[in-house]
């Protein structure tokens, strides 16, 4: 994938990966390695100039409807309540759009259940500006899940939060993955986050990005936060840190 025409920036090249249904995969690498480009390619926001992207057995040539996305900035619409923000994808995704008016009560109940799942019971009628950053990000996750995506793409969703809130949301995502039949791809700079959450960690090279290492995470699920102080856990984090430092030096 190249930006800016034939002589422009080559963002990724020789990028190959395979993710199975139900996996939780984290993608890490040096800044500018193409992690966000990968997100756009998988979701169909960009089409590669060379090569193919296949999601759920179909080549991606347009935005993919089975995908939910959450980014570092929750981008909640300030004039809509939290509940209305969560329901927004249903107005866009075709299979739900035609059912929304006739089945509004059913969808509202589902949205309220998701909000309760992430600790926001009773906050549906609040506006985004009445919520903390962590609460907005919880609502953002609900919005990404409301249309029952088969694939959830998370691009640095917790990067702007304080450490305690971030760890709380790790547990929310851990539990959502365990409870729902969803494949998750997490792009993150936080190596502890990648090892705590993922089944597999992919390490990308410096730009143009490609996968240079793939690691199975050996720790059994469900993982509790006290694993963050475990020697084996921190050894894996340090090994990933070393690989990324090597990738940066090779740029």
DSSP code, position 189 = S
Contact in structure between 216 and 195 (CB atoms under 8 Å): no
160, exposed or middle or buried, with CB in 10 Å at 0-12, 13-18, 19+? middle
Give all domains of the chain, ordered by start, each with its CATH number.
Answer: 2-66+150-249 (3.40.50.300), 77-148 (no CATH)
Residue 97 pLDDT: 64
Q: What share of the chain is helix, strand, coil (3-state, %, to 5)?
A: 40, 15, 45
Distance from C-alpha of 34 to C-alpha of 86, rounded to nearest angstrom: 29
Residue 142 pLDDT: 87
Distance from C-alpha of 125 to C-alpha of 112, rounded to nearest angstrom: 10
Strand, coil or helix: 9? strand
Residue 166 pLDDT: 84
Q: Which residue has the tokens 């040096």?
A: 30
Q: What is the dihedral of CA 46, 48, 52, 53, to 10 degrees?
A: -30
Q: Which residue has the tokens 């509202």?
A: 108
Distance from C-alpha of 34 to C-alpha of 204, rounded to nearest angstrom: 8
Across the 251 residues of the chain, what is the mean pLDDT of every consecutive 10-residue run?
Answer: 89 94 95 89 92 94 85 84 90 68 81 88 94 88 85 85 85 88 92 97 94 96 96 97 88 63
Residue 94 pLDDT: 65
Residue 103 pLDDT: 74
């Amino acid at each position: 994938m190249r930006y800016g025409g034939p002589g422009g920036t080559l963002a990724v090249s020789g990028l190959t990966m395979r993710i199975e249904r139900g996996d939780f995969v984290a993608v890490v690498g040096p800044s500018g390695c193409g992690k966000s480009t990968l997100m756009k390619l998988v979701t169909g926001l960009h089409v590669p100039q060379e090569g193919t992207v296949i999601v759920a057995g179909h080549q991606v040539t347009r935005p993919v409807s089975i995908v939910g996305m959450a980014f570092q900035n929750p981008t909640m619409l300030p004039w809509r309540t939290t509940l209305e923000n969560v329901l927004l994808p249903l107005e866009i995704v075709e299979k739900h759009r035609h059912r929304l008016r006739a089945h509004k009560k059913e969808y509202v109940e589902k949205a309220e259940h998701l909000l309760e799942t992430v600790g926001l019971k009773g906050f549906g009628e609040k506006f985004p500006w009445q919520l903390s950053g962590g609460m907005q990000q919880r609502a953002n996750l609900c919005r990404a899940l409301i249309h029952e995506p088969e694939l959830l793409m998370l691009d640095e969703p917790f990067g702007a939060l304080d450490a305690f809130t971030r760890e709380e949301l790790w547990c929310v995502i851990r539990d959502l993955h365990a409870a729902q039949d969803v494949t998750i791809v997490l792009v993150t700079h936080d190596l502890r986050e990648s090892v705590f959450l993922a089944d597999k960690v992919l390490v990308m090279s410096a730009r143009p990005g490609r996968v240079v290492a793939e690691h199975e995470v050996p720790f059994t699920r469900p993982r509790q936060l006290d694993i963050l102080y475990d020697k084996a856990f921190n050894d894996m984090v340090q090994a990933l840190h070393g690989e990324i430092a090597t990738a940066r030096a090779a740029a």
